């Protein structure tokens, strides 16, 4: 390994004093001036690539015995090292924040996803400046840096045209970024960012577009450009693909590769996977299948339609994952063609948490339904079987497959107490730095260990100060010693785990855990006291998969570890424990900072685009008005005035065949339309949708009245509304509907209003309709 050079503990490098001028003319200057250039990287510093795929689970990839073919992962593992006891945090944002900073997720404010942030220090979603990222470390030491794909670390209220941008990728050490900012993205119709600028692909699925391919195209182009312009500088590429997180979007040809391969069901799949894992040596020879998770039916308990649906969901998931790995293979091939693969420290992390059980017992063709407690009927879903994976679906697979994909462990994503939520495969490939090929490493490791490992391999010391801010300790430990020694001592002795109230602690081979909630029960059904949780105890030195609970046999050891959890949790800002899931996705409930500062009226101008839910007025569960000031040209006008959400939930005010119209889309299950019978005449108009919410709880109905130039034109009822969030990937747009359309009455593209939208105002204050003597209506704001 390169030795640490001196003078790299303060980043960026302090400016050096330049020689002063000693003459009037440059021809007489005695002291030479030196050109100022970028800091040089340490001698021998490797290129660094970190590839992170989403929601996989330990028993998913073929490289770790799983049923999803991943040839690129197999190739890298066969020429590198497989890490069999690598751990993550059980949810997306926390793992990514820990990966980037080398600190535990609560220590850097990411106790849940960014959409679940609260005001509590361990959960506020704000990375402290005292925890610099690996990109800042490498950038400050002469690396070129770039990120592609899923970010999911920026506070949602800061994802707007006005930022601030210091917690965007380009503010956290990356020279460039191309990808998406939130939890997930529609892979057919993505809404992306180039740096901090919103962009949309210029192709559609019918043109052969897919997001995973697009991301890797950009990554390859960037590395080629970097090697052409600055070949003397090493590069750091962070490639975070959205697969296999919902929505499971992939072309039919990839899904068809798995036709019939999962007809045997998830129970038998666990047995098959465990046998392959033992053949590969990635589990102990005496490893057993952990107990089946309560509440999930076995395969032989399903109806015929349930089995057909479950099989199709799994075929789609597997095709989605293999397609993503094929893109990683293209990236790897490009590095090899450029002659840099052998000199690149390549870490392939096969999941940011365990496979997702958030699809519930049945799975769903629209993921957000389950997040609101709406369960699809299999006998209705079967009519949409062939849509699964395509542009008209937003699917996620049943929890039974998640349990199989996490073989041999218990439980799933969100459940930080059990290894099904926290243990994933990880591959390290670096031919110039590692002599072993196809070997296994069984030392306990954690995602916080990645930063110090990369720093050691690059010959970079952990900085004392970054951007003038003294740094808090890096909590991870480098595992670089294992690169050359399979028997290197275990370096990571203690690790706490917590997510959504599920918690545990590992210490020197023992692990105490307690599961608090069920991942597919995201809507509250009552408060369960944490003191009622039952703790389990496992000796992982003899029980690879947490198959045997020893709590009753070793109460003293359990008490010791419970006390240790309290110590670790207090040290890392875990308290107060927060078991809310979907509720925290509503800012008003979570108590996080509101970008709008409590404003009840916001006026948008005609070309405002890409406003996320947390940067717009929250129209859910309350009465509100939408008032558009527009101009209609002489030949008439069509298109969208304002839209929020998309095909799988949202609302829009638009004009079709000249008629002002309003639609409310309830999760793609029901669409409620209100349309004026009177077409708009040329000239300036005010089109007003008055949404009168029923009240009496969340997700109730409403009456929508369309008013044009003060005259009531039409009224209709919305029977039910969306209570918590419309979408993680769609936005609010004025004058157009980007992404997928809220209604199929207007096209996916070319739906912009053909007249002029001057402004659209959203008023959240309750209002009443008061007709004057001429039958006109005017807005009357209720007293505040």
The reported pLDDT for the residue numbered 6 is 52
Instruction: Give CA–CA dist 104/476, Å, rounded.
Output: 8
Mean pLDDT score, 442-451: 98
Handedness of CA 395, 401, 402, 405 (dihedral sign): negative
| 593: its two tokens | 């900072």
The number of folded domains in the chain is 2
Mean pLDDT score, 10-35: 83
CB-based burial label for 66 (10 Å; 0-12, 13-18, 19+) = buried
Q: 639 and 508 share a domain? A: no
Q: 323 and 181 share a domain? A: yes
Q: Are strands 344-350 and 47-53 parallel, antiparallel or unpaired?
A: parallel
Instruction: Give CA–CA dist 647/632, Å, rounded.
Output: 27
State the residue range of the domain holding 176. Answer: 70-431+447-461+478-514
Instruction: Give CA–CA dist 60/781, Å, rounded.
Output: 56
Residue 384 lies in a domain: yes
Is the preceding omega at residue 172 within 30 degrees of 0, hence cis?
Answer: no
Name the percent of the chain in helix, strand, coil, to the closest 5: 25, 25, 50
Is the preceding omega at residue 171 within 30 degrees of 0, hence cis?
Answer: no
Q: 509 and 601 share a domain? A: no
How many helices and strands (H and E) does the chain possess? Answer: 14, 31
478-488 pLDDT, tens digit each: 999 999 999 99
| Total-model pTM | 0.95
Instruction: Give CA–CA dist 439/608, Å, rounded.
Output: 54
Residue 277 lies in a domain: yes
Q: 118 and 266 share a domain? A: yes
Residue 202 lies in a domain: yes
Which CATH number covers residue 765? 2.60.120.200
CB-based burial label for 164 (10 Å; 0-12, 13-18, 19+) = exposed
180-233 pLDDT, tens digit each: 999 999 999 999 999 999 999 999 999 999 999 999 999 999 999 999 999 999
The reported pLDDT for the residue numbered 765 is 67
Residue 50 lies in a domain: no
What would the DSSP string read from start to end of 157-210?
A: GG-STT---TTSGGGTT-SEEEEE-SS---SSS--EEETTEEE--S--GGGT--
Residue 75 lies in a domain: yes
In 10 A of CB 752, how many CB atoms? Answer: 17
| 379: its two tokens | 């006998």
Which CATH number covers residue 184? 3.40.720.10
Q: 364 and 488 share a domain? A: yes
Find out whether 409 and 383 touch, Cβ atoms under 8 Å: no
Q: 493 and 637 share a domain? A: no
Residue with tokens 């089946």: 292
Residues with Cβ within 8 Å of 251's Cβ and at least 6 positions away in sequence, in order, are: 210, 319, 323, 389
> Over the chain, what is the mean pLDDT?
94
In 10 A of CB 530, how many CB atoms? Answer: 13
Residue 589 lies in a domain: no
128-159 pLDDT, tens digit each: 999 999 999 999 999 999 999 999 999 999 99
Mean pLDDT score, 428-451: 97
Residue 51 lies in a domain: no
Q: Is the pLDDT of residue 34 over 60?
A: yes
Residue of 203, 200, 84, 214 lying closest to 149 (CA atoms): 214
Residue 59 lies in a domain: no
The reported pLDDT for the residue numbered 561 is 98
Residues with Cβ within 8 Å of 650's Cβ and at least 6 positions away in sequence, in order, are: 643, 644, 665, 726, 727, 730, 742
Residue of 105, 108, 100, 102 lying closest to 135 (CA atoms): 100
Q: Which helix (H) or strand (E) element contains residue 85?
A: strand 81-87
Q: 506 and 629 share a domain? A: no
Q: 503 and 604 share a domain? A: no
Mean pLDDT score, 92-121: 97
Mean pLDDT score, 279-292: 98
Q: What is the CA radius of gyration of the chain?
A: 27
């Amino acid at each position: 390994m390169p030795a640490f050079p001196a003078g790299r503990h303060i980043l960026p490098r302090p400016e050096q004093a330049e020689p002063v001028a000693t003459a009037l003319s440059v021809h007489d200057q005695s002291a030479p001036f030196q050109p100022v250039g970028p800091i040089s990287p340490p001698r021998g510093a490797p290129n660094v690539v970190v590839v992170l795929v989403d929601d996989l689970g330990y028993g998913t990839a073929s490289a770790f015995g799983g049923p999803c073919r991943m040839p690129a992962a197999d190739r890298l593992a066969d020429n590198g090292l497989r890490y069999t006891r690598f751990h993550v945090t059980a949810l997306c944002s926390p793992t990514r924040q820990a990966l980037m900073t080398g600190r535990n997720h609560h220590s850097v404010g990411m106790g849940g996803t960014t959409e679940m942030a609260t005001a509590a220090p361990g959960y506020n979603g704000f990375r402290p400046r005292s925890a610099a990222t690996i990109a800042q470390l490498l950038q400050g030491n002469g690396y070129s840096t770039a990120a592609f794909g899923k970010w999911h670390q920026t506070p949602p209220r800061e994802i707007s045209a006005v930022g601030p941008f210091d917690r965007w990728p380009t503010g956290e050490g990356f020279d460039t970024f191309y990808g998406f900012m939130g939890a997930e993205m529609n892979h057919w119709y993505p809404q992306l960012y180039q740096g901090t600028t919103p962009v949309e692909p210029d192709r559609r699925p019918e043109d052969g577009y897919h997001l995973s391919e697009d991301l890797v195209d950009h990554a390859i182009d960037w590395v080629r450009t970097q090697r052409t312009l600055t070949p003397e500088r090493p590069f750091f590429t962070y490639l975070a693909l959205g697969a296999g997180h919902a929505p499971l979007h992939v072309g039919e040809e990839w899904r068809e590769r798995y036709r019939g391969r999962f007809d045997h069901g998830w129970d038998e799949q666990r047995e098959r996977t465990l046998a392959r894992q033992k053949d590969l040596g990635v589990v102990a020879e005496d490893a057993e299948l952990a107990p089946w998770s309560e509440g999930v039916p076995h395969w032989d308990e399903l109806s015929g339609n349930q089995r057909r649906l479950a099989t199709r969901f799994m075929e789609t998931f597997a095709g989605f994952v293999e397609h993503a790995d094929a893109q990683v293979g293209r990236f790897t091939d490009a590095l090899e063609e450029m002659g840099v693969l052998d000199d690149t420290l390549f870490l392939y992390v096969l999941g940011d948490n365990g496979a997702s059980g958030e699809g519930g017992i049945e799975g769903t063709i629209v993921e957000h339904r389950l997040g609101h407690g709406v369960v699809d009927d299999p006998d209705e879903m079967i009519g949409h079987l062939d849509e699964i994976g395509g542009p008209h679906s937003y699917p996620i697979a049943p929890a039974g497959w998640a349990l199989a994909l996490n073989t041999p462990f218990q439980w799933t994503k969100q459940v930080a107490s059990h290894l099904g939520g926290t243990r994933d495969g990880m591959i390290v490939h670096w031919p110039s730095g590692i002599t072993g090929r196809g070997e296994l490493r069984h030392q306990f490791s954690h995602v916080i260990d990645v930063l110090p490992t990369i720093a050691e391999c690059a010959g970079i010391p952990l900085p004392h100060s970054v951007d003038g801010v003294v740094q808090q300790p890096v909590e991870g430990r480098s595992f670089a010693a294992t690169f050359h020694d399979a028997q290197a001592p275990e370096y990571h002795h203690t690790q706490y785990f917590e997510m959504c109230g599920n918690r545990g602690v590992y210490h020197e081979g023992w692990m105490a855990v307690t599961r608090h909630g069920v991942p597919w029960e995201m809507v509250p059904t009552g408060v369960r006291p944490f003191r009622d949780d039952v703790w389990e105890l496992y000796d992982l030195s003899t029980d690879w998969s947490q198959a045997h609970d020893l709590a009753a046999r070793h109460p003293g050891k359990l008490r010791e570890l419970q006390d240790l959890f309290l110590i670790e949790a207090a040290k890392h800002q875990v308290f107060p424990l927060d078991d809310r899931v979907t509720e925290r996705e509503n800012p008003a409930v979570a108590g996080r900072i509101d970008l709008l500062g409590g404003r009840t009226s916001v006026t948008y101008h005609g070309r405002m685009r890409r406003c996320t839910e947390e940067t717009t007025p929250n129209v859910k569960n309350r009465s509100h008005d939408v008032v558009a000031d527009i101009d209609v040209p002489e030949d008439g006008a069509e298109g969208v005035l304002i839209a929020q959400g998309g095909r799988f939930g949202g609302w829009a005010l638009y004009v079709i065949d000249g008629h002002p119209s309003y639609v409310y889309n309830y999760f793609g299950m029901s669409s409620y339309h209100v349309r004026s019978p009177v077409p708009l005449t040329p000239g300036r108009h005010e089109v007003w949708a008055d949404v009168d919410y029923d009240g009496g709880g969340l997700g109730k109905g409403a009456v929508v009245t369309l008013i044009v130039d003060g005259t009531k034109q039409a009224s209709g009822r919305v029977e039910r509304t969306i209570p918590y969030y419309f979408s993680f990937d769609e936005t609010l747009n004025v004058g157009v509907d980007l992404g997928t359309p809220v209604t199929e009455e207007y096209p996916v593209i070319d739906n912009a209003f053909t007249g002029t939208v001057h402004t659209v105002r959203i008023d959240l204050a309750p209002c009443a309709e008061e007709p004057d003597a001429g039958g006109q209506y005017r807005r009357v704001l209720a007293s505040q």
